[in-house]
Structure 1
Amino acid sequence: MNSMQNYLADTVKSIPPSGIRRFFDLVTQTKGVISLGVGEPDFVTPWHIREACFYALEKGYTMYTSNSGLLELREEIANYMKKKIGVEYSPQREILITIGVSEAVDLALRALLNPGDEVLVPEPSFVSYAPGTVLAYGKAVSVPTYFEDEYRLKPEVLEKYITPRSKILILAYPNNPTGGIMEKEDLEKLRDLIIKNDLIVISDEIYAELTYNGGHVSIASLPGMRDRTIVLNGFSKAYAMTGWRIGYACGHPDIIAAMTKIHQYTIMCAPIMSQMAAIEALRHGESEMRRMVDDYNNRRKIILSGFKEIGLDCFEPKGAFYAFPSIKISGMSSEEFCEKLLMEEKVAVVPGNAFGANGEGHIRCCYAASIKNIEIAIERMGNFLARHRKG
C-alpha cells in the first residue's frame, strides 16, 4: 500500500496547508534568516505572569477545571469586557475559556453552521477562517477589502456578496495581515445590513489592545448587536502569551452552550496552569502590556519609514503588528518574491496570497521583531529590490 490518499476525507484534502507555516518551515531549514514571518511577539511573557504559573504548580493546581474554565478567570474576563468594550457578560453562562482564539473560531463555526451555510470572510484575512468554514461543512465567501479604503469593510461591497444562504460574517479587526481597523462609524454603517439579513457576527478581537490611533471599538457594543455577536479574544498577542494557548468567547448563552458542548467532547478544558496565569495577566498585567504596545508602535514607525526609503508603497497599519506593503514594483508574484528574498537575502516574510486572492501583490511583514532585526531586514530588502525592480 503506497499511498493512503484515498482514505483521507475529501474536506481535508480540499484545503491547502497554511501559507504562513510553509514559510515558517522554510525558515527553520535555513541558517542566518531574519524572520518577519510568523505573527509572534518577540517579548517573553512578563515575569509576574510566569511566576503565577509557578505558584499554581507549587500549590498543586494540576487538575481539570470545569469545561467552561475557571469561574475566577471568567469573572475577570467579564470585568475586562465591561471596562474595555462596555458590554456586560455573565461569567456563568456567557463566557467560555478556549485553547487560544483558534479553537474559539472552530467552535463558533461548528456550533452555527449547517451544510451549505455561507460565511462571509472579508479578505485579506487570517488564514484559518475559510478552511475552518470548510471543515464545518459551510461555504466560505470571500469579500474583498481595498487599500484605498484602508482595508475597512464597506457595506456596499458586503451587500453584493450576501445571499439567502449567508449566515455568518467574520470581522477581524485590528486586521491580520493588513493592520486595518474599523472605527465606530464604520461599524455603524454595517449594523443595519447585518440585522436586515439576520447575520451572526464572529468578531475576532485578539489584537484589540494593539490599536495605535484611538481605542478599539467592538461591534458587540452597538445597539442590537450584543446577542448576535460572538466576541473572541485571548492573551497571545497583547500579553506575549502565544504558547500558553488561552483564549475565550463571549456571547449569547445559547451559542456559548452549543460551543461548550463541542469543547466538552473534543478538548475537555484549557490547562489550569495557563488559566491561573491568565488571571494574573488581567489583574496586574496592564502596565507591562502597555509598555509592549508602545514598543510595537515605535517599531511600526520604523518599518514604515524603511519601506518608504526603499520604495515600497505601504498602507499605514492602525493596529495589530503587521505591515502589508505592495511588491508590484518587483514584477513578481507574492510567492516568487518571498521565495527569492529568502534564498538571496535570508529575510522571511509571508506572501500576500496566503491571506486570500485579494492579498496577491503584497507581502506581510511582522514588526514584532527587534528594531535591529527590522533595520537589517529593510536593508536586505532594499538590496534585493535594487536587483529586481521592474523596469
Structure 2
Amino acid sequence: MSQKKSLKKDLYKHPDYYLMDDLLTPEHQLIRSTLRDWVKAEITPIIEDFAQRAACPKQLIKGLGEMAAFGPTIPIEYGGAGLDYISYGIMMQEIERGDSGIRSMASVQGSLVMYPIFTFGSEEQKQKYLPKLATGELIGCFGLTEPNHGSDPSGLSTNIKDAGAHFILNGSKMWISNAPFADIAVIWAKNENGIVRGVIVERGFEGFTTPETHGKWSLRTSATGELVFDNVKIPKENILPNAQGLKAPLSCLNQARFGIAWGVLGAAMDCYDVALRYAKDRKQFNKPIASFQLQQKKLAEMITEITKAQLLVWRLGVLKNEGSATPAQISMAKRNSVETSINIAREARQILGAMGITSEYPIMRHMMNLESVITYEGTHDIHLLITGMDITGENAFGG
C-alpha cells in the first residue's frame, strides 16, 4: 500500500496575536510542543496521500496512544494521563491542525468511549477496557445516531430486551467514526420500559456487523460505518450500570464538543498560516499579493476571528476545569469555532487561487473536513437553538 511522504516541509507557526501563551502553564506549552512535533513528523508527511485515497492511517493509533491523546483527562490509575481540560483542548487543536479525521478518531476514543466507561461503568469494566483503550490496543466507537434519528436522539429505536441470562440487542446506528475497525462499541438503546441504557458491544459478538460507509468527500482519513445488531446477545456485565436515560449519552457529547471547539481552531490556524505565507511569497503586478488591500482585509479578519475564538475556548477550558461549564456554553463554543474555521478555510482558499484546490496545500482538505464537523456532534442550527433556549427560556426545537 502506498504511503507517500510529502516533500514539502511543515512550516506551521502558531498565530498568537493576543499573547495567549501567557495564559498557559509551562506544562500546557510542553504538551503543545510535543504534540506539534509529533504531528509534523507523523501526520503532515502522509496525510494528503491518505486523504486522496480515502484511507485511514491506522499506523498512527500507536503514536496517538503514546502521546496520551486517548482519554487524556482519564485518571492515571485507569491508563489515562490525568490532565486538565485545557491540556485536552490543546491536544485536539494540534491533532486537528494535522487533520480533522485523525482528531475525530482521538475524540471518539477519549470522549465517547473512555469517558462513558469511566463515568458510568463498573469498576470491573473500567479495569477491563480503559487501560487498553488508552494505549490504542483497543479502539472504540460510539453509537447514538440512527438512520431516522439524528438531531432528535430521544426517538432512537435500537432496543435491548432482558432474556434472563443475557440481553438481546436489535437495531442499527449510522455515521459512526471508527466503526469499521473498532474492537468495542458503546451503544445507546432503549429497554422494555423506554429507558435509554448504555451497552458495551464487543467485536465478535454474533449478529454484530459494521459495514463501512464509502463515497465521502469529507473526513476521508477517518473510517466511518454503520453498526448493525441482529439479535446480539449481550452479557449482563456489559451493561453500563450507572447510565440510565438520555442524559448519559448527551454528557458524552458535551465532552466531545469541548474537544471540537478547540480542535477546529487548529484547522483554522493552519489555513491562516498557509495563506499568510503564500500571500507574502506570491507576486502579481510586481508586488506580493499581501500588499493588496483586499488580501490584507481577508488576513486581518482571519486573525481577528481566530483570536476571538482562542479567548472563548480558553475561558471555556477554565470553566471546565472548575466544573462549572454548562452544556449551553459548550454548544456556543462548538458552533462559533466551527463557523469561524470554515469561513477562514474558504477565504484562505481564495487567497491561494487555483493552488488552493490542490493537495500541494492543506486548505481544501480542511475545508471539506469542516463541512462534516459543522454537522456532527450537533448541527450548526441545533447549537444555535440551544443558545436561544438558554437565553430565552423558550424551547424552539421542533417548532
TM-score range, shorter chain: under 0.3
TM superposition score normalised by structure 1: 0.26
Q: Which has the higher contact order (CA 8 A, sep 6+)?
A: 1
TM-score, normalization by structure 2: 0.26
